[in-house]
Structure 1
Amino acid sequence: MTSLARSLAALLIGSAAAVALAGCASPAPAEDAEGLSIVASTNVYGDIAQSLAGDLATVTSIIDSAAIDPHSYEASAQDQLAIANADIVIENGGGYDPFVDVLVEGSGSSAIVISAVETSGLLEEDHAEDAHGDEEHADDEHAEDEHAEDHGHIIEGLNEHVWYDVHSIAHVAEAITEALVETDAGNAASYESNLAAFLTDLESLEADMEALAGSLGGGTVAATEPVPVYLLAELGFEDGTPEEFSEAIEEGADVPPLALQQTLDLIDSGDVRLLAYNEQTESPETQRVRDAAESAGIAVVSFVETLPEGEDYVSWMRANVEAVESALTAA
């Protein structure tokens, strides 16, 4: 059973118990707290929401530490109370944080739920590519089945780490702002002003990334997990990692020996310019790949799934870009 399956099973069994244990949990945001109450699955979306809401909302991030692996997180009674009291809930979706949907359903919450995967625009792009490649199998009914808007389910073939796609985050920010205005129309002007400022920062970052892509020269990269692949693609790189390797690491499963060997062969091929390393899912296999990369003189850049302390979303993404540039310049 994968870590995702274990998490789902634990949540389904424990959702009723969570309500009973609520009296023992740490205080959750009060229902009568001043302003709106927003709950985000991770501090990445929590930070974005706070940037857009300003001091008109209280934002609670369920996962706010790099020491926690979001893939295997098991929600608490406190989390369920926070969801129950929320006006807006933000999740990544795509099977990344299924505990959010279990909590929403278990608490009877009437909050507006925003899925970053669904609002990112990536599903539409994926469907367009499918339709272009095989028009005979692109009827609407099949497409709806394939890309059903069920937040908690894994979407086959989609890299769900959409927060590393700066362009997608612009769509997510627009969806959050729409929910803020819908919930608190009296402060619509403030929310829309905050959105405009946030989008301006994103556009500046995208422009810098486009310029850097032209000077870095592209090439092949490897990754212990597909977390930063969108960002690396924007910088002109192609991920050559065997899919079976990265999937096993992401799911906390045993890495097939052949997949590990293929990954080590890729590292030894001389074609890889950079190894993207996710420290939150470190394992003996990822350590072997990192050791091989360092021995081969390949630049290694660490990436995490949660917002580091002292950073906001834009400064964090910019720091990741600068880390890639520095590593390749020094190599």
Structure 2
Amino acid sequence: MIIIPVMRIHSSCGSQPLCRGSQRLAALLLAAVMTCFISVSCSSNSESTNSSVPAGDCPEQPIQVVVSVDQWGDIVEQLAGDCATVTTVIESSKVDPHDYEPTTGDAAKFTDAELVVVNGMDYDPWATKIVATLNPEPPVVDAGKVAGLSDGENPHVWYGPDYVFEFASAVTAELSKLSPKAAEYFTAQADSWNTSMQPYRDEIASIKASYSGSTYAATESVLDYMAVALGLKDVTPAGFAAAAANETDPSPGDVASFGKLIKAGTADVLIYNVQTVGALPEQIRSAADQVKVPTVEVTETVALGATSFEQWQVEQLEALSAALKASL
């Protein structure tokens, strides 16, 4: 209970300077007390921000989660909702994750992690190395391992539709294990996320129904898992693809073979990773433009301007569909 004192000013004061001062003082005191009454910060019963209490719709304290790359970070955020604070290290499509070198600030983000999410498959080895220095080591969800893939295989796991849904199930299970009281909440979040992914499923089904058997060549294997799901045929020269995967220069013969298949129209579309820049990819794209082979731009990390994983993927699938249609 707050008692508001009132200073009474007698009318006999008139306009005397001393009385005018008393009136001003009373007004200021009243304003200050009313401000205190309204403001939560002035109340003796006010609550300060405390990360150890439930947040939003979460029934208990949020889990601290660190994700290496934003391909998975956005999905984890949607699955965790209010029941986790998610920190994603690489969040820019201008960065090539293959060449990324973490800073001391990046390493510090892992200090309080209760769960770490990585792509694995030697795509983000810096993240697993940081985890190995922690004591105790937090549990890790490795997308490559969840998918049943091995080191040395194509690491672009997030482009495999089945792998994406398997990953989401694994994350939900781990979150529920770490925070049992929030298990029902995490299940509801997963259901909501699955619903939001319906346009993604629909676009995949549409492309497969209309363009299965179409061919493509790629400057890098980033879209290969998705291409398999769509029923597309990869005609990229094997030597060129292997060199790109190993981050080495392809042989002159492989480059020549790529140029020939583009000029011959063997590939219906060219898949171009905009995050892998250089004279050679640009040369191949230029060759495709000259013979009017449609080019589809893709990114490894979530594209600039995309608000979610599903929006990013659907927009790329729509671009691929348009390119395949133009190639007919």
TM-score range, shorter chain: 0.7 to 0.9
CA offset digits 1:284-324 (Å, max 9, x no partner) = 11111101111111010100011123321111111111011
Q: For the Cα contact (< 8 Å) 1:71–1:250, is it kept in 2?
A: no
Instruction: Name 1:85's counterpart in structure 2.
Output: 112
Alpha-carbon distance between aligned partners in 2 of 1:85 and 1:32, rounded to the nearest angstrom: 13
CA offset digits 1:91-130 (Å, max 9, x no partner) = 1111111111111112335211011011124x3xxxxxxx
In the alignment, structure 1 residue 313 sits paired with structure 2 residue 291:
no
Pairwise mapping of residues 198-237 of structure 1 onto structure 2 (< 5 A)?
198-202=193-197, 204-237=199-232
SS at match of 2:191: helix
Instruction: Name 2:99's counterpart in structure 1.
Output: 72
Alpha-carbon distance between aligned partners in 2 of 1:247 and 1:283, rounded to the nearest angstrom: 17
Which structure 2 residue ranges, 5 or more long, are not aligned? 1-49, 54-60
Moved over 6 A (4+): 30-33
Per-residue deviation, 1:329: 2.4
**Identity within the alignment, %:** 30
SS at match of 2:221: coil
Q: CA RMSD for the aligned pairs?
A: 2.0
In the superposition, the TM-score normalised over structure 2's length comes to: 0.77
CA offset digits 1:246-276 (Å, max 9, x no partner) = 3433444323212211211221222100100
Greater shift, 80-89 or 295-304, is seen at 80-89
SS at match of 2:262: helix
More RCO (CA 8 Å, sep 6+):
1
In the alignment, structure 1 residue 293 sits paired with structure 2 residue 320:
no
Q: For the Cα contact (< 8 Å) 1:210–1:234, is it kept in 2?
A: no
Which structure 1 residue ranges, 5 or more long, are not aligned? 1-29, 124-146, 148-154
Instruction: Name 2:258's counterpart in structure 1.
Output: 263
Q: Judging changes above 3 Å, is the alpha-carbon distance between structure 1 residues 109 and 39 closer, same or farther for their aligned structure 2 residues?
A: farther
CA offset digits 1:183-210 (Å, max 9, x no partner) = 1111111101111222234355224312
More helix by share: 1
In the alignment, structure 1 residue 324 sits paired with structure 2 residue 282:
no
In the superposition, the TM-score normalised over structure 1's length comes to: 0.76
Q: Judging changes above 3 Å, is the alpha-carbon distance between structure 1 residues 69 and 109 closer, same or farther for their aligned structure 2 residues?
A: farther
The alignment of Structure 1 onto Structure 2 pairs a total of residues equal to: 270
Per-residue deviation, 1:231: 1.5
Instruction: Name 2:162's counterpart in structure 1.
Output: 167
